[in-house]
A and B are shown apart, each in its own frame.
Chain A
Amino acid sequence: MSNQSRIRLERVTKRWGATTAVDEISFDVTPGQFVILLGPSGCGKSTTLRMIAGLEEASNGRIHIGERDVTRLPPGDRGLSMVFQSYALFPHLSVADNIVFGLRSRKVPKAEQRERLAKVAELVDLTDYLNRKPAQLSGGQRQRVALARSVISEHPICLMDEPLSNLDARLRSDMRREIKALQSRLNMTVIYVTHDQVEAMSMGDRVILMQHGKIVQDGTPDELYNRPASAFAASFIGSPAMNLLPLVAGENGAVIEGEPSTPVAPLDAVGGHLGIRPEDIELRIAPGSGVPANVLSEEYLGADTIAYVAVGSHTLRVRLSGKQALTGQPCSLYWTSQNTHLFDAEGLRRDDLTPTPLPSSSRSIPRPPAVGSFQH
Chain B
Amino acid sequence: MLQKLYDWVDERLDITPIWRDIADHEVPEHVNPAHHFSAFVYCFGGLTFFVTVIQVLSGMFLTMYYVPDIENAFASVEYLQSQVAHGQIVRGMHHWGASVVIVMIFLHTLRVFFQGAYKKPRELNWVVGVLLFFVMFGLGFTGYLLPWDNKAFFATQVGLEIAESVPVIGTDIKTLLAGDPEIVGAQTLTRFFAIHVFFLPAALFGLMAAHFIMIRRQGISGPL
- A and B physically associate: no
